[in-house]
Amino acid sequence: MTGVVVFSASAIGSQNAMATPASVSTGHGAMTFEFPDVVFDASENCITPSFNVDVKSSIPNSDWSVDITIRKNGQSPTGSEGRSYGTNSGPGTGTIQICPGLDGSGTFIVDGVFTTFDNQTNNKLEKTFISSVNIKKGSSVFVLSSLKRSGSNISITGNVTGKSEKYGMVGLRGYVRVHYQLKNSTKWLSLTNVFTDKSGNFKMSVAKNLPKKILFRVKFMGNDSMEASEVQKVA
């Protein structure tokens, strides 16, 4: 029997959802800021997602810029900065680098500065604002190829993959841990674990005398950019 589970499927397709928008104005105009939700992919590489701004200038011949940093609550900003700039009214976009292994996932606070410059009077005005962005792990796909028992020997094979924007579905690196649950118990007991290879494959064999027809849980523990996923099977 082969089992396939897609864990955290809500992360798929959520890149267009919006976190907390912000609106701010100076004496030269107003700006609306939005940062769509970000989802890491299976490459585990740093990414450069885009944020959006819309500026309505109240004076002619003006320049503007929006500069941002991001941080988790109670922490210092990450090492990257983002910027968008333009002239007079109109939409704009900017990017900021986010690294799964360095910055992590979760809800980040966006600290920003909206700057306007009147080219006729050489007058510069600034206004700070706060917004947020949700940075999520991608979904992993877990395939349990086999879970076989022969006497006291238990052998398990499978594969874990995730979607990469550049390469499509690729193997995931990370730990796979196996637990079992005895009948009439809700407690999971540890059996063994193994690290997947570069293709996301795993294979393990362990000798342990266990009752027949008990529940096993084979779980990919996730990594910096991808969620955990698991398959359960009675054997």
Q: Would you state the structure tokens that stand for residue 113, as one six-digit string? A: 């500065």
Domains located in the chain, CATH noted? 11-136 (2.60.40.2550), 139-234 (2.60.40.1940)
Q: What is the DSSP letter of 139?
A: P
Alpha-carbon Rg of the chain, whole angstroms?
Answer: 24
Residue 182 contacts residue 214 (beta carbons within 8 Å): yes
Is the pLDDT confidence value at 15 over 60? Answer: no
State the pLDDT at residue 8.
42
Determine contact, residues 176/220, Cβ cutoff 8 Å.
yes
Q: What is the pLDDT of residues 37-79, one digit of tens each?
A: 999 999 889 999 999 999 999 998 999 999 999 999 999 999 9
pLDDT digits (tens, 9 = 90+) for 173-211: 999 999 999 999 999 999 999 999 999 999 999 999 999
Element containing residue 102 per DSSP (H, E): helix 100-103
User: pLDDT-derived band of residue 4, with 50, 70 and 90 as boundaries?
Assistant: very low
